[in-house]
Amino acid sequence: MFPKYSFKLRVTSFESGKCRDRGLSRNLKLETENSKLRERGFSIITAIFLLVVLSLLGVFIVSVTGLQQSSLQLDVQGVRAYQAARAGIEWGAWQVLDPNNTINAASCTAPPPDMPVCPGAVGTTDLPAGTLAGSLSSFTVTVECTRTTTTEGNRNIWVYQLVATACNQPTGGRCPNTVTPASGYVDRRITAVLSKCKDPTATAPRCTCG
């Protein structure tokens, strides 16, 4: 007689293995979802950071552009103020050098040759806005003049010092504005020294020194 053997299949272990596999797959899915959420959160933070940086960069560019435009406008106004001051010097030179020889028209000896005094009260003349034309019409020009005389032998020499100051915001109708200058204020000053010699023995009306 053959001995009797009994066989038992343990299905439980197989089934429990399946359970463990299912549990692992669920854990992997959860970890994957959590990783995706973290990646999304990181992307949002990065986007916000980039937006802030770009906004600050835009504000900086606008600010720099505004400063450049303001600087350019001041440069243009400075050039115009210089030209206005130069026009003031030319006006003053015309007043004091007697270019048309209206003085001493008949004789250089009787009376002795003479030259004009400085124009304006106490040698100061204000040329108000609108006196100059074109792009210089908005500028006021103050021309200051001092005259000294000397002689060299029989020659008479007159020396004029002219100071012309032009500005776009005068105070009391005069430049420069040292009291209440506002934004955009510009002024320019030019100084010139002119001289003219006349000889009593020369020929009228110029009476020029030889």
| Per-residue pLDDT at 13 | 45
Q: Is residue 186 part of a domain?
A: yes
| Per-residue pLDDT at 114 | 82
| Per-residue pLDDT at 124 | 96
Residue with tokens 């020659």: 155
Exposure of 145 in the CB half-sphere (CA atoms within 13 A): 28
Of 207, 204, 196, 197, the closest CA to residue 93 belongs to 196
| Per-residue pLDDT at 175 | 97
Q: Is residue 6 part of a domain?
A: no
Q: Is residue 205 part of a domain?
A: yes
Q: Is residue 7 part of a domain?
A: no
The tally of domains found in the chain comes to 1
| Per-residue pLDDT at 34 | 59
Q: Is residue 201 part of a domain?
A: yes
List the structure tokens of 6.
């009994």
Q: Is residue 86 part of a domain?
A: yes
User: Mean pLDDT by 10-residue block, N- to C-terminus, for the chain (210 residues)?
Assistant: 48 46 56 61 79 85 74 90 97 92 80 84 94 96 95 90 97 94 94 93 85
Q: Is residue 5 part of a domain?
A: no
Q: What are the φ and ψ backbone dihedral angles of 165, each rounded to 5 degrees?
A: -120, 125
| Per-residue pLDDT at 42 | 66
In which domain, by residue range, is 97 found?
12-210
The answer to whether residues 143 and 127 touch, using CB atoms and an 8 Å cutoff, is yes
Q: Is residue 44 part of a domain?
A: yes
| Per-residue pLDDT at 205 | 84
